[in-house]
Amino acid sequence: MPLPLKHGLDLLHDPRLNKGTAFTGPERDALRLRGLLPPRVLTIEQQLDRIMENFHAQASDLERYIYMVALQDRNETLFYRAVLEHLPEMMPVIYTPTVGEACRRFGHIFRRPRGLYISTEDRGRMVKVLRNWPERDVRVIVVTDGERILGLGDLGAYGMGIPIGKLALYTACGGIHPAHCLPVMLDVGTENPELLRDPLYTGLLQHRVRGTDYDDFLEEFVTAVQTVFPAALIQFEDFATGHAIGLLARYREQVCAFNDDIQGTAAVTLAALLVSGRLSGRRLGEERPLFFGAGSSATGIADLITAALRQEGLGETEARGRTWLFDTQGLVVAGRAGLPAFKRAYAHEHAPIGSLEEAIRVVRPTALVGLSGQPQVFTESVLRSLAEVTHRPVVFALSNPTARAECTAEQAYAWTDGRAVFSSGSPFDPVELGGRRLVPSQTNNAYVFPGLGLGLTASGARRVTDSMLLAAARALVDQAEDALLRDGALFPPLSRIREVSLRIATAVARVAAAEGLATRPVPGDAVAWLTGAMYQPVYPRYLEPARSP
């Protein structure tokens, strides 16, 4: 490739161009690097050995997170090479559960800004702010207002760690070039009193903007994105339930946008439920899920299950009737006053029930899905009741981070006599029970959103539809391995994530083309086309080696 415009220290300080000690002798001469680096030239493999040695030497996962962020800030290629080659141990560090602790302490571990911070002080000039971003070909924007970070609540501007982490997975797992990714923090204030008292807080020291002012602020942002980055997919991330549902309803038919907490969680959970049927012997239409937690994620999953059942031929009423919700007031039933619209679709005719254990005995669910953010609410009596009403119960403890999980893998297996099909939002170690080794699955959105994003951006999709989400879920189901299923693992190992993402991207791009929503041609051999489009963490050669005479 041609020589970069930068040279010397400017080149070494550009994480996208920097190769560190891997610059060759001729490159050092041509790029004015001679003397600025130790004399020995190392390969990227040797550099990676040093990175992993230092990674393992850190005293805690938070320190490992800080170490990897520092690497990302100085050498992007080496960062993604390390993440991709060691994904099973890297993902819990650069994303959930460690990213939750990193967000809680974001202002205290802050080193170097990444992404764009747009605050209410920028109203009226968002186009100008977006144009401050140095990259012009932005294809994925992950944006949050920090109000509902994982299960930790309102972290305000500290929530920026989530878009940064999500986009790292778009690149590592989905092969979207890091130059095409933009994390955005929309700072509208915070209601967290600890942050408002924190002398190192990096956001606005004000209460959250609400109502029409908030809506107008988001409208200006979405409109500005269409002006500056018209080809970008907008992923809304970790917004509070009311805003999350409202934003998705408002923009999903206008721009290429989706909400990973609602739709990504829905796709991966639907896939997990479909795969679990291979162990339980139940078809999707025979499942009767009970959701503990009735927010946007739960109703998003319920909506996608309904869409899948309708594809299989069930009517709307019958499809919705399979699913029940349980919230802070108990079982969601039709007679309850004041139900928000997104819950009413799953409010069935029934007497009120305030106890989860009683609800299980009455509803007789085949699957119990936790999305409450309340740790240890799937007690022994709850899970034993579930095991009494269904022979092979599905137990999904999906709240993040790990400390917020409704139960542990060991509890789910032990309290159902090893019969549970278990999955969680954050990872758990394998469990030994009665001479069997059970491997808990992780129903992690990272199995879906990177491939979904690759398919959407490669095809230039104008919208994100339920058909695309269903195609993504079924493509993931097709990747399940029977040998691993026998031990309880619903999904392939993370080491196969790029292959999984490629299959999902292929399915999504084909749906975009079939629905007339693709703005770029999708070739017949979409797999090869997408494979060629995937970013590989390999150093560029700024000077071609001399040819032999």
Domains by residue range for the chain, with CATH: 8-94 (1.20.1370.30), 263-444 (3.40.50.720)
The answer to whether 147 and 195 are in contact (CB under 8 A) is no
What are the distances in angstroms from CA 210 to CA 191, 213, 215, 261?
11, 6, 8, 21
Is a pLDDT exceeding 90 seen at residue 245? yes
- The distance from CA 79 to its chain's CA centroid, rounded to whole angstroms, is 19
What are the distances in angstroms from CA 425 to CA 95, 108, 150, 354, 395?
12, 27, 10, 26, 12
Is a pLDDT exceeding 50 seen at residue 549? no
Model confidence at 548, pLDDT cuts 50, 70, 90, reads: very low
SS3 of 254, please?
Answer: coil
Output the furthest CA–CA distance in the chain (Å, rounded): 88
pLDDT of residue 426: 84
Rounded-to-integer distance, Cα 504 and Cα 458, Å: 12
What is the residue type of 441? Answer: S
Say what the pTM is.
0.94
- The distance from CA 205 to its chain's CA centroid, rounded to whole angstroms, is 28
- Cβ burial of 511 (10 Å; 0-12, 13-18, 19+) is buried
- Cβ burial of 492 (10 Å; 0-12, 13-18, 19+) is middle
Model confidence at 140, pLDDT cuts 50, 70, 90, reads: very high
Place of tokens 């007679």: 335
Assigned token pair, 206: 């004000």
Is a pLDDT exceeding 60 seen at residue 547? no
Is a pLDDT exceeding 80 seen at residue 78? yes
Q: What is the mean pLDDT of residues 360-366?
A: 97
pLDDT in tens, 101-138: 999 999 999 999 999 999 999 999 999 999 999 999 99
Is a pLDDT exceeding 50 seen at residue 253? yes
Which of 206-210, 226-230, 380-384, 435-439 is the least confident region? Answer: 435-439
Is a pLDDT exceeding 70 seen at residue 31? yes
Listed in sequence order, the DSSP H helices in 198-345 are 211-228, 241-251, 265-280, 296-311, 316-320, 341-344
Rounded-to-integer distance, Cα 472 and Cα 534, Å: 18
Nearest C-alpha neighbor of 378 from the set 343, 426, 414:
414
* Beta pairing partners, 187: 119
Rounded-to-integer distance, Cα 332 and Cα 350, Å: 9
Rounded-to-integer distance, Cα 261 and Cα 474, Å: 19
Rounded-to-integer distance, Cα 489 and Cα 423, Å: 8
pLDDT of residue 163: 98
What is the residue type of 340? Answer: P
Q: What is the mean pLDDT of residues 166-173?
A: 97
Annotate 393-440 with DSSP letters as a single string: -EEEE--SSGGG-SS-HHHHHHTTTT--EEEESS----EEETTEEE--
The answer to whether 164 and 79 are in contact (CB under 8 A) is no
Please state, as a whole number, how many other Cβ atoms lie within 10 Å of the Cβ of residue 229.
22
Rounded-to-integer distance, Cα 174 and Cα 521, Å: 20
Q: What is the mean pLDDT of residues 342-362?
A: 95
Q: What is the mean pLDDT of residues 440-455?
A: 95
Q: What is the mean pLDDT of residues 530-545?
A: 91
The H-or-E segment that residue 142 falls in is strand 140-144
What are the distances in angstroms from CA 27 to CA 2, 21, 541, 542?
11, 11, 8, 7
Which of 173-187, 485-499, 532-546 is the least confident region? Answer: 532-546
Rounded-to-integer distance, Cα 347 and Cα 331, Å: 8
Torsion of CA 371, 377, 381, 386, to 10 degrees: 0
pLDDT of residue 486: 85
Rounded-to-integer distance, Cα 173 and Cα 84, Å: 7
Which of 225-229, 409-413, 426-430 is the least confident region? Answer: 426-430
Q: What is the mean pLDDT of residues 533-546?
A: 86
Catalytic site positions: 95, 166
pLDDT in tens, 269-320: 999 999 999 999 999 999 999 999 999 999 999 999 999 999 999 999 999 9
pLDDT of residue 319: 92
Model confidence at 174, pLDDT cuts 50, 70, 90, reads: very high
Mean pLDDT of the chain: 95
Estimate the share of the chain in helix, then strand, then coil, as percent rounded to the nearest 5. 50, 10, 40
pLDDT of residue 545: 59
